[in-house]
Amino acid sequence: MSQTTIISERPTSWLLFKEITKFRLSISVLFSSVAGYFLGAEFIRLDVLALLIIGGYCMVGASNVFNQIIERDLDALMERTKLRPLPAGHMTVNRALALGLILTLIGLTALYWINPKTAMFGAISIFLYVSVYTPLKTKTPLSVFVGALPGAIPFMLGWVAAAGSFGIEPGTLFMIQFFWQFPHFWAIGWFLDDDYKKAGFQMLPTGKRDKGTAVQIVLYSIWTALTALIPVAHKTGALQISLYSGFVVALLGLWLIWAALRLYKLRTTAAAKKLMLVSVAYLTLIQIIFIIDKFIIQ
């Protein structure tokens, strides 16, 4: 009997770039930065917006590249990540490192051209994600709290890019996305818990898919929903939304809390996946509502 050898096709350079920079994740993060820019800008400057898009993607992409370099051996242990460019052998570490450094240089330069504060926050984000959050993932569930800091920067980064300063407005945007990180990533940690444990990642607050974790998910969902309503009170400087938009934001908050309570009640993988999808839709929709409110309703 003749033997046949199956040779897997090597991904194209573009596909490798998308995978090593986590294209879809980077785009979703970039959307938050653009939303923050629209909220903070008195008028839209296309040159600044272009620099924010280029710089923002490069910085997020670089963080993901460095993360995958550090975790390449752990990624090989998990079903979800074993086919990434480095564990699959489609890209060398040196090539990935060179790409990460180039993206960092381009990203910081683009953000600095906007203003120094934007570049500073971009640099803080990549440092915390790569140097603090990534190593902590195998050591303590508190890594999620650390990871929430760089994860919350993009929304406020857009405002700083538009205004050139940090104040209560970008601080509020930071708070919204900071609290949002917990129900979102704990939902992911819940339905990927078995896979994460293969690599030794500790992503759930109690280390288990139990009542304690579910309670914390509900609490952070409530705090997220309440924080998103702060601009209704018109106590956050130029960041304000009308009562009409506040009502819609409140309904979306109830939707997020409902999904969290559903996970608390059922404690199933399906409920966790549902919460993850609801959380993504929630953040995207409130950002869109904030923008619509500024440019159309007010």
For 144-179, write each residue's pLDDT tens digit.
Answer: 999 999 999 999 999 999 999 899 999 999 999 999
As to burial, measured by CB atoms within 10 angstroms (0-12 exposed, 13-18 middle, 19+ buried), residue 251 is exposed
Question: At a CB cut-off of 8 Å and minimum separation 6, what does 216 contact?
Answer: 182, 186, 205, 206
Query: 160 and 190: one domain?
Result: no
Q: Which tokens belong to 137?
A: 């993932």
Query: Measured between alpha carbons, how far is 249 from 210 in angstroms, rounded to an integer?
Result: 29
Specify the residue for token string 């969902």: 221
Q: What is the per-residue pLDDT across 22-36, written as a single tens digit (0 to 9) for each?
A: 999 999 999 999 999
Please state the pTM of the whole predicted model. 0.91
Of 137, 164, 191, the residue that ends a domain is 164
The domain tally of the chain equals 2
Of 164, 179, 213, the residue that ends a domain is 164
Query: 120 and 207: one domain?
Result: no
- Residue 255, domain extent: 167-298
For residue 61, what pLDDT is reported?
96
- Decide: helix, strand or coil at residue 82: coil
Q: Is the pLDDT of residue 109 over 80?
A: yes
User: Tell me, what DSSP letter sits at residue 230?
Assistant: G
Query: 275 and 226: one domain?
Result: yes
* Mean pLDDT value of segment 194-220: 94
Of 148, 164, 180, the residue that ends a domain is 164
Query: Measured between alpha carbons, how far is 88 from 72 in angstroms, rounded to an integer?
Result: 9
